[in-house]
Structure formats: structure tokens, C-alpha cells
Amino acid sequence: MAVDPQSLSLVFHPADVLKEVAKTVDPEDKNVHAVAQAMIQIMHEHRGAGLAAPQVGLSWRLFVTHDPDNQEHAFAWINPTLETVGDDKATEDEGCLSIPEVRGNIRRPVSIRITGFDIQGNPAEEMSDDMIARVWQHENDHLDGVLIIDKMNAMDRLVNRRKIRDLERAI
């Protein structure tokens, strides 16, 4: 499972790893912690709100985020589990680092409880109905092999068709 964190880089659609269901990792593994640190750097370099391990080529249940309201506060979620709290849903514009220049209106639950392990391997839990709850859901989708293009409505797919096709042809 050893991975050189310095060798990680962003992967783009249609990379196969982006469509795989990621596997759980050992939350106490120091290499997992080093990878999470490297992912935080990559997320910041690309000005993302979050980054999932599949987006750097690893089929691991791990993602990193920062609070859109406090970009200095980055957090790693190892083996996260999300639970919807309440019935409220909202539609917001989303993009994805692995699908550049593609945006769509994605409908998601508003309030989320997340549990998992932090970058030190300690149990962690949070609940939010702010923008970070949407980020958690977006990144967790990556761990399940789901992309925003899989959740877009027909109009957004049509608007983005050429950009998506160009990415698929670039491989």
C-alpha cells in the first residue's frame, strides 16, 4: 500500500479510477497520513474545495476538504460515512477538478453528518448544513465512483457535451 506522496498528481475524466468504488484504508497507516497531506497541497494548488483519493489515482476511501468560509482549515476524512439529516434539498452549481471547465446544477441534501477518521487516525464526527456539507457529498461521491456528470440534469449535460467529449477524446 506504500505510495510516494510526492508522485501524486491530479487525474482527469475519463480515468478508470474515477469510476471505481474505493476501498477502505487503515486510518493508522502513516503512508495514508502522508498521502492526505500531499492531497491537501494539491487541493490548494488547484484552488479546490476538496479532493478525493481517486482524483490522484488512488482507489482509497479518503478525501480532504477545506471550509469554503475558512480556507486555512483543511481536514482529511479517512473512511468517511455520510448520513443525511432531515429532508431539505438544494440545487447548487458545482464543478470538479477532474473535469475542468464543466459545471452543473446538482441537487443534494442540505444537512449532513459525517463520521470517519482524521489525519492522525482519530475518530472524527461533524455535522453541517453549510457549503462544507455539499463539499463532503461531492468528495464522497468520488469514493463511490460517481461524478457530477452522472448527476447532471439533461440541460447541463447538453451544455457541457463538447467539453466532456474533448476530455474523453484526449486519452
pLDDT one-digit tens code per residue, 16-28: 999 999 999 999 9
Residues catalogued as catalytic: 139
130-157 per-position pLDDT tens digit: 999 999 999 999 999 999 999 999 999 9
- Scored b (16 or more CB within 10 A) or e, 30-55 reads eebbbbbebbbebbeeeebbbbbbbb
Average pLDDT over residues 62-79: 85
Strand, helix or coil for residue 72: strand
* Residue 80 contacts residue 36 (beta carbons within 8 Å): no
Containing structural domain, residue 101: 8-169
With respect to residue 107, please indicate whether it lies within any of the assigned structural domains. Answer: yes
Q: Which cell numbers in the block locate residue 36?
A: 492526505
| 70 pLDDT tier (thresholds 50, 70, 90) | low
Across 87-155, the runs of DSSP E, i.e. the strands, are 89-95, 103-109, 112-117, 123-128
The pLDDT assigned to 170 comes to: 81
Phi-psi sector, 58: left (phi>0), alpha (psi -120 to 50), beta: beta
Position 100 pLDDT exceeds 70: yes
Q: Which cell numbers in the block locate residue 122?
A: 482519530
Containing 165, the helix (H) or strand (E) segment is: helix 154-169
Mean pLDDT, the chain, integer: 94
Q: What is the DSSP letter of 86?
A: S
Position 71 pLDDT exceeds 90: no
157-171 per-position pLDDT tens digit: 999 999 999 999 986
Domain CATH code at residue 143: 3.90.45.10
With respect to residue 38, please indicate whether it lies within any of the assigned structural domains. Answer: yes
Which residues, at least 6 apart from 100, have a Cβ–Cβ distance to it below 8 Å?
A: 12, 163, 167
With respect to residue 1, please indicate whether it lies within any of the assigned structural domains. Answer: no
Total structural domains within the chain: 1
With respect to residue 3, please indicate whether it lies within any of the assigned structural domains. Answer: no
